[in-house]
Amino acid sequence: MNFDLSDEQQVISDLAAQIFTGQSTVDRVIEVESGDGFDRTLWNELAKAGLLGLCLPEEHGGLNMNMVELVLVLEQQGKTVASVPLWSTSVASMAVAEYGSKELQAALLSSVIEGHNTVSLALSNYGANDVMNPSVTAVDSDGGVKLTGGKPAVSFAQHASHVLVSAKRADDSILLALVDLKASGVTVTPVQASNRQPTANVEFDVVVPASHVVAGLNGNGREALRWVHEHALVGLCALQLGIAQGAITIMSDHVKTRTQFNKPLSAQQAVAVRAADQFVTTEAIRVTTLNAAWRMSEGFDARQDVLVAMYWATEGGHSIVIACQHLHGGIGADISYPVHRYFLWGIQISTELGGASQHLSRLGKLIASK
């Protein structure tokens, strides 16, 4: 039993920390926000460091690592609220490496690793947002599959080259396809997202060639969607872990230095214990996220572990960012002060693939029906 990072994992974490804190300063985040929302300079740095191919096969130029390492990198992104499509690109390209044809892998992965192509994830659906019940429909057609329907709130879709989309056939079987976002029949409508990240709604009325169907031609669509879903969830947990740490760092600096009644705010016990509770919850996100990622990396069944981590990332993450925002008083209401970004990201992550009730409901079903 050993909960420590290996030396190699520590190197990855340090490298990511160095890149994100070096590049994604508060000034830079503001600059990117006022532009098109994609920090391409940072993206190129991540490519140069090899981090865009962290979990991709060596034959395409990747580092062939696994979820624990991706968690460490996404955690650093969350800490700096850096505006890059690392979560979606990593999970989608890992899915292509896991389930896609050799041709598709060759066409996509090396260009992702070099930083030329980026991929969005369209897993959310309109309505109840049950990831396992896609709102896009798929009909087999000559030489491929015809996709019809829409996906809401797709992160970075206006900047990405591709999108990994889930769809459902009339017989309820599931399919995952990699769609070229520039293809005719794909409509990308940029929308404003609460966390101010580039986001678009995407409409599909397009035939995808069989070579771009990642999974679902051989009846493995449901399993593949579950795989992508679990990896996406743990990725969100990692981002939320970084958000939580970033938020409590800013918050604790504030309550230590802000003086009222001739003493620091933190000398008020009501403030100090509320601050301390956010640390406790952050540690819960950390240990459960690392555990889920480790189990996935080792190939163990991690369904319950992922839901436990996601419970903390949603319920816990939500309460952390609210407390950190609250403890800033009026200062936090001014958007020239940086803490609000952590609040907005925290809320968005808590909503992205379902809220705490959805994860608890699934976990409850698993543990009670044993």
Partner 1 sequence: MSMHIGDSPEEAAFREEVRAWLSQHAAPRSDDGGSWHDDLDAHSVACKKWQRVLFDNGWAGISWPKHFGGRGGSHLQESIFNEEQAKFDAHTGLFAVSLGMVGPTLMAHGTPEQQSEFLPKMLSGVHVWCQLFSEPNAGSDLANVATRAIEDGDDFIVNGQKVWTSMGQYADFGILLTRTEPDSPKHKGITYFIVDMKSPGIEVRPLVQMTGVAHFNEVFLTDVRIPKANIVGDLHGGWAVANTTLTSERGFIGGGSSSWSVDELIDFARERGLDKDPVVRGKLAECYARAQTLTYLGYRLRTTASRRTMPGPEMFVMKLAYARHWSRTMDIAMEIAGAEGMLSGDAAGDALHWQHNLLGQFAIRLGGGTNEVQQNIIGERGLGLPREPSVDRDQPWRLLAKG
CA atoms within 13 A on the CB side of 199: 15
Q: Is 290 in the site for partner 1 (CB under 8 A)?
A: yes
Segment 329 to 368, residues that bind partner 1, using CB under 8 A: 357, 360-361, 363-365, 367-368
Q: Is 173 in the site for partner 1 (CB under 8 A)?
A: no
The site string for partner 1 over 9-38 (x = CB under 8 A, - otherwise) reads x-----------------------------
| Contact indicator for 234, 306 with CB cutoff of 8 Å | yes
- Residue 9 CA to residue 312 CA, distance in Å, equals 23
| Contact indicator for 229, 95 with CB cutoff of 8 Å | no
Stretch that binds partner 1, among 35-43, 152-160, 201-209, 276-284 (CB under 8 A): 276-284
Q: Is 287 in the site for partner 1 (CB under 8 A)?
A: yes
Task: Please give the full DSSP string across 245-304, using - where no structure is assigned.
Answer: HHHHHHHHHHHHH-EETTEEGGGSHHHHHHHHHHHHHHHHHHHHHHHHHHHHHTT---HH
CB of 366 to partner 1, least distance (A): 8
Task: State phi, psi for 125 to the nearest 5 degrees.
Answer: -135, 160
Q: Is 66 in the site for partner 1 (CB under 8 A)?
A: no
| Contact indicator for 89, 77 with CB cutoff of 8 Å | no
Q: Is 319 in the site for partner 1 (CB under 8 A)?
A: no
Q: Is 92 in the site for partner 1 (CB under 8 A)?
A: no
User: Exactly one of 39, 75, 230, 305 binds partner 1 (CB under 8 A); which one?
Assistant: 305
User: Exactly one of 58, 263, 301, 336 binds partner 1 (CB under 8 A); which one?
Assistant: 263
CA 355, 358, 364, 366 dihedral sign is negative
178 - beta bridge partners? 164
Where does this chain bind partner 1 (CB under 8 A)?
1-6, 9, 68, 248, 252, 255-256, 263-264, 266-267, 269, 272-273, 275-277, 279-280, 283-284, 287-288, 290-291, 294-295, 304-305, 307-308, 311-312, 357, 360-361, 363-365, 367-370
